[in-house]
Amino acid sequence: MKLIILDRDGVISHDSDQFIKSPDEWHPIEGSLEAIARLNQWGWRVVVASNQSGIGRGLFGMDTLNAIHDKMIKSLARVGGRIDAIFFCPHPADSTCDCRKPKPGMFHQIAERFNVELRGVPAVGDGLRDVQAATAAGCTPYLVLTGKGLQTREHPDLPVGTAIYPDLAAVVADLIA
């Protein structure tokens, strides 16, 4: 099985320092939905792994998160794409949970659910936490320069060997080449 793990905000959709708190605030990055549809067409399973501390902070509830994800799923369907599963950590940044990136717990949940070994599975993010979690789980980390990617690229703790691409569409073009 070909599996890829994607962060949501900054990879698939535009990010916000004030959090994406409603479906109206969720907007796809140009080309990202079509890139996911291409992955699907080439037989890839696409999973989202996203920190959603806005829930733990009380900024929005599960009904709102579900509505945001419903908008993403419907937007993908309009271009022939799909997400196979969405994993998220609802805990605030000061939590000691093991599912909040940069910890790899969410990735381990994905491995268990899909019964796969994560070694070499591409994991795409725009933040340092994303690529650190991917590396800790044994995935191949990809950094996109959308979202927080430009700042992350310069971070001294960026894991060695992280592949850097302009956006998700460029990652996908390389993976299916």
Catalytic: 167? no
Catalytic: 70? no
- Give strand pairing partners of 67: none
* Active-site residue, from 9, 15, 126, 130: 9
In whole angstroms, give the CA distance from residue 170 to residue 153: 16
* H-state helical runs in the chain: 32-41, 53-56, 62-78, 105-114, 128-136, 149-153, 168-175
- Catalytically active residues are 7, 9
